[in-house]
Amino acid sequence: MITFTRADRVSGLVQEVLSDLLKKRIRDPRLDMATITGVKMSSDLKLARIYFTIYGDSEKSEAARRGFESARGFIKRSLAGRLGLRYMPDLKFFHDDSFEYGSHIDKL
């Protein structure tokens, strides 16, 4: 039987809520095609590393990262209201290039 830590459960919930926010409430054009691919929580739930992917070149991914950084306050407030945690984790956004790497390998 696989046991999941609290950090695993919270990271799944953060990913679900953040994906819903991207679809319905965040209106930044830099984040239109962004997809949340994963969330890694620290064991003490103080830091959430959010991985995203976006179709396009490195300029679009950098613009999307800046879009996430500018919307960080709104995202933290929205997550805090829906998660019900005692402390809201700090959010760090990273571009996930595993899909581009996978497509590169497929082409080879």
> What does the pLDDT look like over 52-101, one tens digit per residue?
999 878 899 999 999 999 999 999 999 999 988 889 999 999 999 887 78
pLDDT at 1 over 70: no
Contacts 24+ apart (CB under 8 A), 98-106: 98/37, 98/53, 99/37, 99/53
Please count the other Cβ atoms lying within 10 Å of the Cβ belonging to residue 27.
Answer: 8
pLDDT at 17 over 90: yes
Burial grade of 79 (CB within 10 A; 0-12, 13-18, 19 or more):
buried
Q: What is the pLDDT of residue 44?
A: 93
Q: What is the pLDDT of residue 3?
A: 72
39, HSE (Cβ side, Cα atoms, 13 Å): 24
Q: What is the pLDDT of residue 58?
A: 85
> What does the pLDDT look like over 33-50, one tens digit per residue?
899 999 999 999 999 999
